[in-house]
Every structure is written in C-alpha cells, then in structure tokens.
C-alpha cells in the first residue's frame, strides 16, 4: 500500500530548501567595467617613468593578483600573460620575462584561492608574499642566466612594497561591494 507524502516534502528535500542566513558573506561579483577599467588604468600608469625607481611597487602585478583572487572567471593566466608581454615590450627587456613572472604569480594565487578567501587581508598578505617572491625570483634568475650577469636583489624591495599595499587595496576595492550591500540589509 503506497504512503502519501505531505505536500511540502513531495517536491524537494529539506536540505535543498535551506538558505544562508547572511548572503553577504559569500561576496558579490564586481561589474566587468570595474575589473577591466582598473587593470587598464593601472597598466597605463605603469607606462610612466616613475616605475624605473627600484623600490616602486608593481601596481599592475598587485591588481592582477587581486583580480585573479576575487574574479577568477574574468582575470586569469591569459590576462597576466598579455599584460606581462605588454610590459616586456614597453621595458625593452628580454621578451617574456615579465610575462613569466606575472603568470607565475597568477598561478600561485589561483592555487591558494580557496585558502586565501577564508582569511582577512593582513593574513592574505602573508600568504601572497612568498608567492610573489618566488614568482619574481624565477624571471630574475632566468634573466641573469641569459644575460650572464646578476642584477642584484633590488627587485625584492619592489615585491615587499607591492605586498605591503595588499590590505589597502583590499579595503579600497571592497568599498563599493560593502556600500551596495549596506542598503540591501534589513533590520535583524
């Protein structure tokens, strides 16, 4: 003899009907124009001669890594490679060294993405530091081998300054998301 199920159980299981208490914790996607606009703006700023000073942070690398972490469907290894090649052409260095560094940094962040998203910006900074150091060390070692001379460790200052800006970038780039979420939240 078949048993009749209650109407509320006949369509979906009870687990399928569960909803998160606070959907804001899962984040919202940034509009595409913000992602690509910031990348293009920072790329154009990177073409200015102030970048020649050794301890200047690599802002393009910083934004690439940030967007690889927060918008992996839009910015990934291909984007890092293209911007790296553009910087190689601009700097008139060995073609592909900057692109290699950018791709290694993007790959490292994609490997750690699930872990990084669980932490606040300061802890993310500590995880990103070795990724960027290794990602920039490989092209410098390869360049030294191809050119036959080691340029020194001055590039490390740039990496340290780049990583030091991570929490500030996280605060600034998450402001629009926080402001749009603040209006949607109702009383508790």
The 3 state secondary structure assigned to the chain is: CCCCCCHHHHCCCCCCCCCCCCHHHHCCCCCHHHHHHHHHHHHHHHCCHHHHCCCCCCHHHHHHHHHHHHCCCCCCHHHHHHHHHHHHHHHCCCCCHHHHHHHHHHHHHHHCHHHHCCCCHHHHHHHHHHHHHHHHHHHHHHHHHHHCCCCCCCHHHHHHHHHHCHHHHHHHHHHHHHHHHHHHCCCC
Residue 116 within any structural domain of the chain: yes
What domain range includes position 119?
A: 32-43+58-171
Residue 48 within any structural domain of the chain: no
Residue 109 confidence (pLDDT) above 90:
yes
Q: Average pLDDT of 95-109?
A: 95
Q: Token pair of 134, please?
A: 């290794």
Q: Token pair of 69, please?
A: 């972490």
Number of domains in the chain: 1
Residue 130 within any structural domain of the chain: yes
Q: Average pLDDT over the chain, rounded to whole?
A: 84
Q: Average pLDDT of 136-145?
A: 93
| Lowest model confidence (mean pLDDT) among 73-82, 141-150, 156-165 | 141-150
Residue 129 within any structural domain of the chain: yes
Q: Average pLDDT of 177-188?
A: 50
Question: pLDDT category, 185, cuts 50, 70, 90?
Answer: very low
d(Cα 105, Cα 99) in Å, to the nearest integer?
10
| Lowest model confidence (mean pLDDT) among 49-53, 114-118, 127-131, 158-162 | 49-53
pTM of the model: 0.78
Q: Average pLDDT of 96-125?
A: 94
Residue 185 within any structural domain of the chain: no
Residue 128 within any structural domain of the chain: yes
């Amino acid at each position: 003899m078949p048993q009749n199920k209650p109407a509320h159980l006949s369509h979906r299981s009870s687990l399928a009907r569960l909803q998160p208490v606070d959907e804001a914790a899962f984040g919202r996607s940034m509009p595409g124009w913000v992602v690509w606009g910031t990348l293009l703006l920072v790329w154009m700023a990177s073409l200015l001669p102030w970048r020649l000073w050794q301890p200047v942070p690599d802002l393009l690398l910083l934004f690439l890594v940030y967007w690889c972490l927060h918008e992996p469907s839009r910015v990934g290894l291909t984007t890092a490679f293209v911007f790296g090649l553009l910087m190689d052409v601009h700097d008139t260095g060995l073609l592909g060294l900057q692109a290699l560094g950018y791709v290694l940094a993007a790959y490292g962040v994609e490997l750690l993405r699930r872990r990084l998203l669980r932490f606040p910006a300061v802890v993310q900074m500590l995880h990103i530091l070795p990724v960027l150091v290794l990602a920039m060390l490989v092209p410098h070692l390869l360049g030294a081998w191809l050119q036959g001379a080691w340029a020194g460790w001055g590039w490390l200052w740039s990496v340290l300054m780049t990583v030091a800006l991570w929490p500030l970038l996280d605060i600034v780039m998450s402001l629009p998301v926080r402001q749009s979420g603040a209006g949607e939240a109702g009383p508790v």
